Amino acid sequence: MKILRRDAAKFGPLPKWKLDPVLTELFWKRGIRNTAELSYSLRNLLLPDFRDMDRAREIIGRAVMERTRIRIIGDYDVDGATATALAMRFFQDLKFGEADFYVPRRHNDGYGLSAAMAEKAAADGVGLIVTVDNGISALDAVSRARELGILVVVTDHHIPGEKLPEADAVVDPKRKDCPFRSKNIAGVGVIFYVLTQVRSYLREKGWFREQGIPEPRMQEYLDLVALGTVSDVVPLDYNNRIMVQYGIGLIRKHNTTCGIDELIRVSGVSAVKITSSDISFSLGPKLNAAGRIDDMSYGVECLAARDADTARRDASILFNFNIRRREMESEMMAAAEDLIRKMPGHDVSGGIVIYSPDFHSGISGIIAARLKDRYRVPVIVLADGLQENTVVGSCRSVDNFSMHGALERISDMLPGVVLQCGGHVRAAGLTMRRDGIPALRDKFAELVRGFMRTGVSEETFESDGELPGAYFIPSFVRTLVYDQPWGEGFPNPVFDGVFFMSHQTVMKQHLRFRLSLADGRSFPAFYFYYDERFWPNQSVTMVRAVYCFQISSNSNSGKISLIVRAMEPAMDKKEERILWNGGLGIPYADFR
């Protein structure tokens, strides 16, 4: 275990804000340069200066006024589902019954708008297609829709290719000519901005007055924006944090739809205590399960449900999908481990590339991530693709090894074998010929072994340092857990320190125990997905742990517990002396 401490000093001297010094340092490390950035008022949202926004709002607004049939084309992840549900809620609030939606099925349709979907829309009498969280790469499909006389508005947040689709409007912050400053906005955030402007257009035309329909309160849709933004793991810049924090506030006040309330209930989460972590680890996976193994339309219908009975039914379906997803994950993980045991010499030093016709492409990314964590090497998990004799791969990487770069190099080395690849440094995907798997495995092993000779395979954990014992109190922990929308690019505070350890027990997928400070105070601790090769170990009584906080309620009387990210025995006398000095690195008496 390697701990990398975040260093505030590299950003210059700490400012003299009227905040607790530990909070000041935490925010400074996360790029906050003015305390105004900790105010999440909707008045501070960026203006909607997207390229093509004026065209998009007019096209959609005129379609509403003329009762043109509109079809929303979504995506099968949580961002796509929340974006689709937000659009449907908006049109429902307009009492506009001519809007419907279609979410591609992962295993039948592939990703995003297709020519076949455009042809089906034409047959159904659709006059306008609006894409959400997709469309920027659907050049042929958009052209086909235009040929069929259908207007197309693309709303997306992914990086465009060299050429934009020839749609009637393309709203995407990552267009090179788009001045909108929050390039990290999720797909659900983009459609939120677009529909806010559609409302303005209809207001300017006097449509609400003529129809006798109240204007939608756009801020009430931010519950969906929060859910989709956090689940899509986009960086939480200031603009995103404003929308997420407001949306989480709506949910805490039960000012949300029946569907979201029911999803929270089946997730076993308390609405009044919900945090971005609950969205990431409880709500998001249940929605994602529908898109992984069946049809994300169930997720959209749950999120957009307006009556309790429908919401309860749809949430129950999602809950059962997630149970099935876990079963499939367990079965697939066991099969993957069996394939690894059959590797010559059980040698994973060249990375892991595994394929089975029984693998499910919707689960392969989860399996790749779990294998990467267990073996500390880059992993590619391959499953059969949509086209005959092709496979699709989910790829996950360790620190410092660029998976996207490796796939691009392999694609150059194996022309015609790798048909498509893309992604990021840590996670990527590919489509390739099935008969090219042995060649892929050989080339991948060459790259991984070359990296392992010079790279660092030890897992690294970022930490904000050792926290003085005086801060292990409910008032401080409550502030940490509830007052900020932590997430990607604005990470939840994580600390490291030396503790006494006791009462180790195994509870399903986690290790439960107690960690004690030198002053005798003891806290329950939970280590999820711990390494079964090393824990539990009753002979260990002192550990160095990387951890974050949890608290039972959003109050100063809540009970504190620790969520351990990583842990190892701490045996040397120096660490023991640090602990007995009482402050986890700083004398406890100094903070009383």
Domain coordinates in residue numbering, the chain: 48-321, 343-460, 464-591
User: How much is the pLDDT for 531?
Assistant: 77
Q: Residue 526: is its pLDDT beyond 50?
A: yes
- Dihedral angle over CA of 515, 517, 519, 524, nearest 10: -30
User: How much is the pLDDT for 344?
Assistant: 85
User: How much is the pLDDT for 159?
Assistant: 86
User: How much is the pLDDT for 373?
Assistant: 84
Of the chain, the percentage scoring pLDDT greater than 90 comes to 75
* Least confident window among 490-499, 517-526, 566-575: 566-575
User: How much is the pLDDT for 321?
Assistant: 93
Q: Residue 388: is its pLDDT beyond 90?
A: no
User: How much is the pLDDT for 423?
Assistant: 67
Instruction: Give CA 30 to chain center in angstroms.
Output: 19
Provide CATH code, domain 343-460. Answer: 3.10.310.30
Q: Residue 572: is its pLDDT beyond 80?
A: no
- 483: Cα within 13 Å, side-chain hemisphere: 13
* Residue in the block written with tokens 């979201």: 260
The CATH class of 464-591 is mainly beta
User: How much is the pLDDT for 457?
Assistant: 55
Confidence of residue 579 (pLDDT cuts 50, 70, 90): very low
User: How much is the pLDDT for 580?
Assistant: 43
Confidence of residue 274 (pLDDT cuts 50, 70, 90): very high
Q: 3-state SS string over 542-564?
A: EEEEEEEEEECCCCCCCCEEEEE
Instruction: Name the architecture of domain 48-321.
Output: Alpha-Beta Complex (3.90)
Q: Residue 27: is its pLDDT beyond 90?
A: yes
Which pTM does this prediction carry?
0.88
Confidence of residue 571 (pLDDT cuts 50, 70, 90): low
DSSP helix/strand/coil, 181? coil
Contact 1, 566 (CB under 8 A): yes
For residues 422 and 66, the model is more confident at 66
Contact 298, 317 (CB under 8 A): yes
User: How much is the pLDDT for 507?
Assistant: 83
| Omega cis (within 30) before 536 | yes
Q: Residue 513: is its pLDDT beyond 80?
A: yes
Q: Residue 454: is its pLDDT beyond 80?
A: no
Q: Residue 195: is its pLDDT beyond 70?
A: yes
Phi (first) and psi of residue 384, to 5 degrees: -60, 140
